[in-house]
Amino acid sequence: MIREVLKMGDPRLLAKAEKVLRFATPELAALLVDMRDTMAHLNGAGLAAPQIGVSLRVVIFGVHGNPRYPQVEEVPDTVLVNPILTPLSEELEEGWEGCLSVPGLRGSVPRFRRIRYAGFDEQGRSIERTAEGFHARVVQHECDHLDGILYPMRIRDFSRFGYIETLFADCEAPPED
Ligand code: NI
């Protein structure tokens, strides 16, 4: 079922989400159906459970030749529960981000360029990967939602924060997580 996405200003987006304690449950499966439906409906690159008002450490993401973002690197479709992120170097990279909870805006956000991420899928199977570039950015953005952090809180250069149609009047806008 497509759920309403909470918007910035809603205090539920600022809460630290709880760990999932039981895997392979009907409740977790139902949550993921709703998250996938909602993300697909809004053409998002990712979605975190707190964005639909569920305070659990669950994120989904994935980008595949989205016709809206032909220039964007592919990211594997992933369900990540109880994620742990580890930067693989101190190197930061600025890049454009959007968020379904901050509609209509884009901002340039510094993120670690290379990370390792670990966690579980909905069945409790272990996931461990390294990622860089846009893939690493999407994971960092989604996992921030689990700690109540929205991307505008990480912007350093506010001259690169604004409305999509103004910032990208002459080019393709980057995707929205
Ligand atoms: Ni977001």
> pLDDT 10s per residue in the chain (177 long)?
999 999 999 999 999 999 999 999 999 999 999 999 999 999 999 999 999 999 999 999 999 876 666 677 899 999 999 999 999 999 999 999 999 999 999 999 999 999 999 999 999 999 999 999 999 999 999 999 999 999 999 999 999 999 999 998 877 777 776
Instruction: Indicate whether 2 belongs to any domain.
Output: no
Task: Give me the CATH number covering residue 108.
Answer: 3.90.45.10
DSSP per-residue codes, 74-132: PEEEEEEEEEEEEESSS-EEEEEE--TTSTTEEEEEEEESEEEEEEE-TTS-EEEEEEE
Is residue 128 part of the annotated active site? The answer reads no
Residues in CB range of 140: below 8 A, 6 or more apart: 85, 111, 112, 115
CA distance 22 to 28: 8
Residue 14 CA, ligand 1 centroid: distance in Å: 12
Instruction: Indicate whether 173 belongs to any domain.
Output: no
Instruction: Indicate whether 3 belongs to any domain.
Output: no
Instruction: Indicate whether 113 belongs to any domain.
Output: yes
Q: Which of 97, 122, 142, 176 is catalytic?
A: 142
Instruction: Indicate whether 43 belongs to any domain.
Output: yes
Burial readout 91-121 (b: 16 or more C-beta within 10 A, e: otherwise): eeeebbbbbbbbeebbbbbebbbbbebebbe
- Quote the number of domains for the chain: 1
Residue 26 CA, ligand 1 centroid: distance in Å: 25
Eight-class DSSP state of 173: P
Instruction: Indicate whether 174 belongs to any domain.
Output: no
Instruction: Indicate whether 177 belongs to any domain.
Output: no
Domain containing residue 57: 11-167
Residue 22 CA, ligand 1 centroid: distance in Å: 25
Q: Which amino acid is at 58?
A: V
Q: What is the pLDDT of residue 169?
A: 84
Select from 91, 109, 85, 87 the least CA-distant residue to 99. 109
Instruction: Indicate whether 6 belongs to any domain.
Output: no
